[in-house]
Chain A
Amino acid sequence: MRDSRSSSHASGRVESLLDAARHALRDVPRFDREREEELVEAILSRTTRSTPRNRGARTWWISFAAALLVTSAGALVVASRGTRDLPARVAAALPPAAGPGALAPLEHGEPAGKARASENPLAFAREELVATASAAGRPKPGVDGDAPLELRLLEARAKGLRERRWDPWLREVALTDLDTLSLALWCEVELDRYVLSGSRPPGWNRAVEILERDLARPETPEEGSRLLNHALERAREYGLTDGVAVARLDAGAPLWNGQWFDDLDAAGREAGIAENGVWRAWVDWRGR
């Protein structure tokens, strides 16, 4: 009984100490109760007290109108061209291949070569990427470290395709922090890197786990689901998922199909970044 009281007393002391420590940790010079209330009100006035519904509706209509205009203009341009223009590009020097089953790096000046999808999906994918890479947009001003992650990922993808260089921060991204859209885009960047450099994405098994888990979640947005599914199909196609043989699931289908760009467009609208120049450039590019 005495021990119990003593233990309880000691425990109470620890709790008091922890409470006092918590209080000390939360103390910030000049941040008194009044200032705290002011800040809370400022935050609420910028979040829940604003009128996101009306603002969102306006943004949606503006986005829709702009997308309609751009799509119409794009359709006219495509119609006037008549046929697709896919010039074969010379590949730049690549870092050495590292992943099992990956292609050997291309020599400087060596064309990607002709491959049949059913025979060698990686070679076929590389050919497609090399053939279209130089058209993957130009560097866009304004996409710096403070830009939304989705935009930085898209720009990183364009840079990877164009220059065969991938920013180091891509490897620092914590997969568990990514939302659906960011995860899908990160996967696409890493899959490009795998095809072009042979470098297997780090922690790829974990990425596939999260991909599959997110796809199974009913709350995953539809637009994001389609992009996730695209990335997962690509990974399977390249043999980057466990227990799946390297085999193109839909032999002969182009990597840059219109559906992916439609999904990207829809996901961009959902995320409220569809009007950004980088996003629009990608959506309008459509792999041509």
Chain B
Amino acid sequence: MTSSTPIDPLLALRAGDRAPFEDFVRTSTRSLVAFFHHQGASPSRAEDLAQEVFLKLYRSARRYQPRERFPAYCYRTARNLWIDELRSAARRPDGVPARPDPVEAVGIHLDPGRALLFAEEERSLQALLAELPPGHRRVFELALLFDLSYPEIGTLLSIPVGTVKSRMFHAVRRLRSAWQQRLAREGVA
């Protein structure tokens, strides 16, 4: 979810201009797939869900009324879809295992086979991100994947902006510290 689409894609779509929506699809598909994968969806299911988000957004264009910035609206749509997914899965014997709290259920999943092929740098970062406390990781993810501002994250998670800043600060500090240690070990710094 990048901020390279300053025009609201749905408002543009409603006005007959498809280009911003297409740009939005191109720049956001990877982030949405990653978002669903981090929630626990398999890669192929994450692709399906990302596609479903875009279809929902597209179909809602005619009735869309912006009450918040578009990335926040998109995140809400994705989150609601994931909650629906968990509810549906709970009714299916072979579905995705339900999590105790769908909103807080965030995890970085490493495919063992894939991990062997990872660049060392990325693997280290993946591991570091996975070690962040869930609340910190959630804030970090919303800021980096959806490009949301601190007030927007606070509203979406129902926490004060100060808490968002604090969690982000601690997440960055923890990552930076671990990162610098690694660089020092390798004699890069």
Contacts and interface: CB of A to CB of B under 8 A. Distances in A.
Interface of A: 13-14, 17-18, 20-31, 35-36, 39-40, 42-44, 46-48, 145-146, 174, 176-177, 179-181, 210, 214, 217, 219-221, 224, 270-272
A122 B175 CA distance: 59
Contacts of A44: 22, 25
Interface residues of B, number: 50
B172 A18 contact: yes
Nearest to A10: B176
Given A21-B144, A40-B25, A29 B114 contact: yes
Contact of A145 (B25, B65, B88, B145): B88
B65 A220 contact: yes
Dominant secondary structure of chain B at its interface with chain A:
helix
Interface of B: 13, 18, 21-22, 25-26, 29-31, 33-34, 37-38, 43, 46-47, 50-51, 54-55, 58-60, 62-65, 67-68, 76, 80, 84, 87-88, 108, 111, 114, 121-122, 125-126, 129, 140-141, 144-145, 172, 175-176, 179
A20 B111 CA distance: 19
A71 to B, nearest CB: 24
A20 B121 contact: yes
A28 B80 contact: no
A214 B114 CA distance: 49
Contacts of B34: 25-28, 31
Given A23-B122, A29-B111, A43-B55, 14 more contacts: A17-B175, A21-B125, A25-B141, A28-B33, A28-B46, A30-B43, A43-B25, A43-B51, A47-B54, A48-B18, A145-B87, A179-B63, A271-B63, A272-B59
A217 B29 contact: no
